[in-house]
Amino acid sequence: MPPKKRARVAKRSAKTDKGAAEGETSSSGGRRRKAAAAAETGGKEESSESPASPQHCRWLMKSEPESRFENGLDLKFGIEDLKAAPDQTSCWDGVRNYQARNFMRQMKEGQVAFFYHSNCKEPGIAGIMEIVKEAYVDHTQFDKKDVHYDATSKPDNPKWSMVDVQYQRMTKRYLPLSELKNYHLQHRAKGGPLKDMALFTRARLSVQPLTTEEFDFVLSLEDKEPL
């Protein structure tokens, strides 16, 4: 069942923190916009036709929860901003990396993603959201006032896409990057679900695929004491 129409809410974009890239946001005019997708600009253009791995049906998406101004616009967009949005739903725009874009184009309605706070004092997973609209044209690429404007993208052949996401819930506790990294190192040495997690093997991407095994293991940590 298609999602109800809703007012357009924020924008996004991504950035890196001290060891992993983080998502950022965008704004336009005097309005604050949402943040989130990918300032990991660049990369070689890749075909969006390559099929997603059948294992990759979960996701991790980064956004900045703290204010950061670019061209006079606040790029802040944390999970609380998504929760406060109309219908608790927003577009996830501003992704300007081909691989991250292609991952978004592989997303299916009803799939879930971790909301990852990036470019902040303590990066980590703050909650869970659902994909409620599959990839469509990201309008910010054509907006000259937007920090994600791309003069090389044309309306008849747009480069960039976005999806709509809806807040589901906060994790029972915040899952910091430092804790996830400890598990990753353990699993890389002795075997385990996080040994190849993209958060560490493709850290600069603001949109990352997760296997069901990776997602379930990370989610199980909310019921455990911090490592």
Lowest mean pLDDT among 21-25, 66-70, 193-197: 21-25
Instruction: For residue 170, list its beta bridge partners.
Output: 127
CB atoms within 10 A of CB 189: 9
Structurally, the chain folds into a number of domains equal to 1
In a domain, residue 6? The reply is no
- Identify the pLDDT of residue 61: 99
Question: 7 falls in which pLDDT band (50, 70, 90)?
Answer: very low
Looking at the predicted structure, is the pLDDT value of residue 38 above 90? no
In a domain, residue 123? The reply is yes
Q: What is the DSSP code string of 128-175?
A: EEEEEEEEEE-GGGG-TTSTT--TT-BTTB---EEEEEEEEEEEEEEE
Q: Which residue segment(s) compose the domain that 162 sits in?
A: 11-42+53-222
Round the average pLDDT of the chain to a whole number and report it: 85
Cα–Cα distance for residue pair 177/63, rounded to 1 Å: 14
In a domain, residue 1? The reply is no
In a domain, residue 47? The reply is no
In a domain, residue 176? The reply is yes
Closest CA to 156 of 141, 171, 145: 141
In a domain, residue 141? The reply is yes
In a domain, residue 172? The reply is yes
pTM listed for this prediction:
0.82
In a domain, residue 72? The reply is yes
**How open is the CA angle 47-17-43, to the nearest 5 degrees?**
20
pLDDT, one tens digit per residue, over 82-111 is: 999 999 999 999 999 999 999 999 999 999
The more confident residue out of 4 and 55 is: 55
- CATH number of the structural domain spanning residue 179: 3.10.590.10
